[in-house]
Amino acid sequence: MNAPVSRYLTLAGRSVHLLDWGRADAPAVILWHGFARNARDFDDLAAALSAQYRLLAVDTIGRGFSEWSPQPDAEYTVPFYARQAIELFDHFNLTTARWVGTSMGGLIGMAVAGTALKDRISHLVLNDVGPAIAPGAVSRILSYAGTPPAFATLPELEQYFRTIYAPFGIATDAGWQKLAETSARRLPDGRLTPHYDPQIAAVLGRQAATVTGDAWPLYDQITAKTLLLRGAVSDLLSDETAAEMTRRGPKARRIDMPGIGHAPALDTVEQIALIAAFLAE
């Protein structure tokens, strides 16, 4: 396994950071994280797959080391992220690629796999997300993301993450410590707070109706092989929606993760093996 290379691209006029894992001549896999997360969430998956693939793990604008938008209402949206994804494909001259998207990253994947990149995405992994999103889950996300707290020490921030991200199913102390260390930024007063721009939540609050709307017509346009991973106790992706996803559009193959909510962390040997086997088909 090689360490990833940090790259900074200008996509749709904004500076975007990504981690580039594996060989440049290997088949490409795009890794796109969830709403208030960042590219480091895919470290375990990317490390495990880097011998077979080139993996591009993106920090969405407003998160990680990517630029914060000066126009949040226009740019902290799935259509704008999709525009950046299309430019990402063009930048790397990707005629075809696989896509693994957690939550929001899956929404972006659906948006491009059903439209502009329909013929360029061969495999689509949707991690606990679908064309219909439960409004209650959006309310829960907004309850913590809208006013991110600040703490004097990293262990205090870690404890906060253990509380709000308990549904991820992270099983080890080392996993929680890494999540905290890769999800923190310092404020001018020296305290630690989550790494993202709080405006991402403000925009989500104003546009929640759009996010939870009906994206079934888009889903029905997808032709990529599709794997649906669902937290068995997810409050975002209902059992009914997941079942419908197996019957229409790309007819996703569905696998539920026992005891996990929204969204599986993709950090266990079992979860990584499922994705590896699917991507290899």
Check which CATH number belongs to the domain holding 78 and give it: 3.40.50.1820
Instruction: Say if 112 falls within a structural domain.
Output: yes
Residue recorded with tokens 């990529």:
224
179-213: per-residue pLDDT in tens? Answer: 999 999 999 999 999 999 999 999 998 887 666 56
Instruction: Say if 99 falls within a structural domain.
Output: yes
8-18: per-residue pLDDT in tens? Answer: 999 999 999 99
Instruction: Say if 84 falls within a structural domain.
Output: yes
Instruction: Say if 204 falls within a structural domain.
Output: no
Instruction: Say if 147 falls within a structural domain.
Output: no
Average pLDDT of the segment spanning 26-49: 98
Instruction: Tell whether the torsion through CA atoms of 95, 96, 99 and 104 is positive or negative.
Output: positive
Instruction: Say if 67 falls within a structural domain.
Output: yes
Instruction: Say if 71 falls within a structural domain.
Output: yes
Helix, strand, coil percent values for the chain (each to nearest 5):
40, 20, 40
d(CA 1, CA 140): 37
Average pLDDT of the segment spanning 47-53: 97
Whole-prediction pTM: 0.97
Question: What would the DSSP string read from start to end of 55-84?
Answer: EEEE--TTSTTSPPPSSHHHHSSHHHHHHH
Classify 176 as helix, strand or coil.
helix
pLDDT of residue 259: 96
Classify 133 as helix, strand or coil.
coil
267-276: per-residue pLDDT in tens? Answer: 999 999 999 9
State which residues form the domain around 260: 5-133+214-279
What are the two backbone dihedrals, phi and then psi, of residue 28, each rounded to the nearest 5 degrees?
-90, 145
In the chain, the number of structural domains is 1
Instruction: Say if 256 falls within a structural domain.
Output: yes
Q: Where are the alpha helices (DSSP H) in 3-103?
A: 43-49, 72-75, 78-91
